[in-house]
Chains A and B, each alone.
Chain A
């Protein structure tokens, strides 16, 4: 597989072009922003019974956010925190990514220079969850 196709696998491009729950749901009161000041990528995550997102970003950050929302569906806050930490650790080279839904990111070396894109919404979501009153 070429360098290009390792990074931009078909599944990633499909996900980025058809992102899950990509909708500006301003009717949902609770929202957080995932923002990368270096590149200007900016997503608003609307946190209701279901999670939606909207904003501007690259194919990788968009696909990653879309997959995160799918992945977190049905998880408790504690489960979400654990899963997000595990995923971020996997991207940073400290563990394996084994969850089927996230397998396109299982080899972080294919995304050199783009790890921040992958982690953008995951970091924002983790920060939000960790700051929730217990």
Chain B
């Protein structure tokens, strides 16, 4: 783990930083930062339109990254978006012509708002019914309820893979079985699994996986929508303009047939260059070891927090390195500010999962989320700071 941390310049700039806000965004390896910088220094040109060498290089990066991402996650194709929220909004807009007032859409109580609000809006526009799969107090999805809620009118099942608040890893294979042969698209919010739970993405069979590059050590501003070709083949383009057309007449236009019909305008090329390096970086890391580490860190922290009498959300089964906790009378923002003075970066709030907050009857909580550069001794530092915090606010 020590060697991995050395790849991240942020820890050279802030040697004492304990960064446990990885569910929000991950830090960037030097290779990713350098790829973005090098792109602007040595290659900057627009894609699609240039015939000169620099433009060809940009085209090459744009094409190669798409291919490398598909190969890495073992999916048929992908389109570039601007992030998870953007990906779901685009899907919710473009699937509208497949939804009517007889349809229902299934989401879960664990959803991040990015995979909830777009479907609420779609249902309001079309009159379709939004059905919510609940979860147990332990933070496990109620798969039996999902079976009951699903019927022949279900057109979309859109669910979170790993809860950004609870760390619960949902069983995508089981959900695929529940969907069976129904005429429903299976869409997955992979924002928390795209970095180190690659195997679960590779070995599951959803129609689309949506995530942002910055969750997987890549840059902000670029996201990925991995998809089966049969899904994209049925979707109309989301955005219109340059780069996605073949023939333009006065009153109408014809669109490209390949995936670039979904990528109108100039794409975030420098970020895509950074994303390419992020994929290479992840592919060189021992992900099995990383998964064990983040899981161990989260389980250890949870056990020690509970031993101090604090309430952790859920039961931490299959934890993916995420622990959310409330500190009694100490408000989450006060806790986060206190921890900040000890160089511990955490997130406080509802984490864009207000349904989970309502489930547990709280307004907000503090979330610790670990990644590949966190170490065991950081849990000791966190617990030491928390004991100090308890005394400070008492």
Of residues B357, B363, B393, which shows the largest number of chain A Cβ atoms within 10 Å of its Cβ?
B363
Whether B338 and A58, one on each chain, are in contact in the complex, defined by CB atoms closer than 8 angstroms, is no
- Give the CA-CA distance A129 to B82 in the complex, in Å: 40
Q: Nearest CB to that of A6 among chain B residues?
A: B341
Whether A114 and B392, one on each chain, are in contact in the complex, defined by CB atoms closer than 8 angstroms, is no
- Give the CA-CA distance A110 to B341 in the complex, in Å: 12
Please name all residues of chain A whose beta carbon is closer than 8 Å to the beta carbon of B392 when the two chains form the complex: 4, 8
Let me know if A57 is at the binding interface, CB within 8 A: yes
Whether B363 and A7, one on each chain, are in contact in the complex, defined by CB atoms closer than 8 angstroms, is no
Residues 331-363 (chain B) with a chain A CB within 8 angstroms: 331-334, 337-338, 340-341, 348-350, 354, 357, 363
Q: Which of A4, A39, A59 contacts B341 (CB under 8 A)?
A: A4
Please name all residues of chain A whose beta carbon is closer than 8 Å to the beta carbon of B348 when the two chains form the complex: 39
Residues 360-378 (chain B) with a chain A CB within 8 angstroms: 363-364
Q: Nearest CB to that of B363 among chain A residues?
A: A40
Let me know if A56 is at the binding interface, CB within 8 A: yes
Residues 313-334 (chain B) with a chain A CB within 8 angstroms: 331-334
Q: Nearest CB to that of B336 among chain A residues?
A: A113
Residues 107-129 (chain A) with a chain B CB within 8 angstroms: 113-114, 117
Known A-B contacts A39-B332, A59-B331; the reply to A2 vs B341 at CB < 8 A is: yes
**In the complex, how many residue pairs between chain A and chain B have their CB atoms under 8 Å apart?**
46
On chain A, which size bracket covers the interface? Answer: 10 to 19
Please name all residues of chain A whose beta carbon is closer than 8 Å to the beta carbon of B357 when the two chains form the complex: 40
Of residues B334, B350, B364, B393, which shows the largest number of chain A Cβ atoms within 10 Å of its Cβ?
B334
Q: How far is the CB of B344 from chain A (nearest CB, A)?
A: 12
Q: Which of A3, A42, A113 contacts B363 (CB under 8 A)?
A: A42
Q: Nearest CB to that of A55 among chain B residues?
A: B363
Please name all residues of chain A whose beta carbon is closer than 8 Å to the beta carbon of B341 when the two chains form the complex: 2-4, 7
Further 15 A-B residue pairs, CB within 8 A, beyond A8-B392, A42-B363, A56-B363 = A3-B341, A4-B338, A7-B337, A8-B338, A38-B349, A39-B332, A39-B350, A39-B364, A40-B349, A40-B350, A40-B357, A40-B363, A58-B332, A60-B334, A117-B333
15 cross-chain CB contacts under 8 A: A3-B341, A8-B334, A39-B332, A39-B333, A39-B348, A39-B349, A39-B363, A40-B364, A41-B363, A41-B364, A56-B363, A58-B333, A59-B331, A59-B393, A114-B337
Q: What 6 pairs across the A-B complex have the smallest Cβ distances?
A: A40-B363, A58-B331, A58-B333, A40-B364, A4-B341, A39-B349
